[in-house]
A and B are shown apart, each in its own frame.
Chain A
Amino acid sequence: MKMNLSKEWLLKRAALDEKHDISAGTINLNKLRASSPAKQLEPVHGSAETENSNPAFGKLVNLWRRKKGLRIDELAEKARIDVTELFEIERNLHYTPEPRTVYQLAKTFGLSQEKMLELSGNLTVRDSSLGQEAVRFAARSESVEKLSKDEHRALEEFVKFLSEK
């Protein structure tokens, strides 16, 4: 990330900055990590292939796109993500996409960002039932041009599961 702060802004801020302490955070990193609201979240690897990645994410994206009759470049434009990353997501089922890409796809699909992050391999949730559902879904879907009845049903069921709170 690149940042540019003008000298005028810095001097203005310096005039406001008394001799305050500025520390933020808790004593215990692990305790804080486990205190996420509602569920216990643990971030995991990103971008490259990881043992946490799940083929169901790529399949979900592929089937959802085909169901909507969109080309890869059209979905990339709709979701405002990089077309090459979308291609990689569908082509390499063990690819772990960037969190922003997952957010954008979750928004486009109208699905839970948290579950999509987990499904994409960016986040693990302890005691999650998503893993089993994802494996079931991935096993039932084939990579063909048109959705078969079974694929259609698998996609519908999985999307329903992902939509549940």
Chain B
Amino acid sequence: MSTVSPVHLLDRKSGILVEAHLIDGLSREDVEKAEADWKPFLDEHVKRMEEAGVPKSKLPQHRHWNWREKYDATEEYLLYRMFGLECQSQMQGLMLALTAGKNSQIVAQRGKPLVYIHFLAAAPWNLASIVSEPRFSLVGSVLVAAAIHLSMEEEFQGRIGLHSLPQADNWYRKTCGMTDLGPDQTVENLRYFEMTPEQASEFLR
């Protein structure tokens, strides 16, 4: 069963907030539609970038992700929660969160449970690495806020953790104010970030 919360995104062109919906508990149809909208757009733009000689390191690093596969792999597990951020009849962002089995690595919080953001991504038309003028901003902020709320609902006091793709490291470190615990050799050497209860309060303030 899914629940829907009314939220807003910022339309970059007009500079105004527009109505959006945060969906907790996506259906297969929601994910299939998102994948059908995202993939052709992403493939076309990546192809253009490759033809223009853009180096591989500048291409979107999650271009091979398949959200339907992620949905299929996790849909039967209650410990996984898939969120979608819908605006103007299209999915603007997706997030897969895990609510058990992960504990804090920060010394002062060590061993305390957290919500682990397994995957988080914005629609390709919202990515500055693909288009010069992204359509909506706030996609990441709303999804991170959702993960914090989920953590609070689970009584984890807002603790969240994630492995960031390199192009997003600065956003999690500076804009979200998360603690950077450095590269994790067990997870493709991606940097591991955590948000403490205090950082979560600050983020939501």
- Which residues does A use to contact B, with CB under 8 Å? 1-5, 7, 9-11, 13-14, 16-27, 29-32, 35-37, 41, 43-47, 98-100, 103, 113-114, 117, 122-123
Contact = CB atoms under 8 A, between A and B. Distances in A.
A30 B119 CA distance: 13
Contacts of B204: 9
A25 to B, nearest CB: 3
Contact of B101 (A5, A22, A27, A114): A114
A47 B149 CA distance: 22
A9 B93 CA distance: 19
A86 B5 CA distance: 30
A122 B3 contact: no
Interface string B122-149: 1000011100001001111111011001
Among B60, B78, B127, the most chain A Cβ lie within 10 Å of the Cβ of B78
B98 interface: yes
Interface in B119-178: 119-122, 127-129, 134, 137-143, 145-146, 149-150, 153-155, 162-165, 167-168, 170-172, 175
Given A20-B170, A23-B60, A100 B154 contact: yes
Interface of B: 3, 5, 7-8, 10, 17, 22, 24, 60-62, 64-65, 69-70, 73-74, 76-81, 93, 96, 98-102, 113, 117-122, 127-129, 134, 137-143, 145-146, 149-150, 153-155, 162-165, 167-168, 170-172, 175, 186-188, 190, 204
A26 B163 contact: yes
Nearest to A99: B100
Contact of B168 (A7, A23, A27): A23
17 contacts: A3-B22, A11-B17, A16-B141, A21-B168, A23-B62, A23-B121, A23-B168, A24-B164, A25-B62, A25-B65, A35-B187, A37-B186, A43-B78, A43-B79, A99-B78, A99-B79, A117-B101
A20 B168 contact: yes
Contacts of A36: 101-102
B77 A1 contact: no
Contacts of B101: 36, 41, 43, 114, 117, 123
Nearest to B129: A21
B7 A32 contact: no
Given A2-B3, A20-B170, A22-B139, A123 B100 contact: yes
Contacts of B138: 10, 13-14, 17
Among B79, B80, B142, B153, the most chain A Cβ lie within 10 Å of the Cβ of B79
Contacts of B128: 19-21
Contacts of B188: 26-27, 31
A117 B17 contact: no
Contact of A117 (B64, B100, B150, B155): B100
B20 to A, nearest CB: 10
A25 B188 CA distance: 10
A53 B163 CA distance: 31
B119 A24 contact: yes
Contacts of B162: 24-25
Nearest to B148: A3
Given A24-B172, A43-B79, 13 more contacts: A1-B3, A1-B146, A1-B149, A14-B141, A17-B138, A22-B140, A23-B120, A23-B165, A25-B120, A25-B163, A27-B64, A43-B80, A103-B100
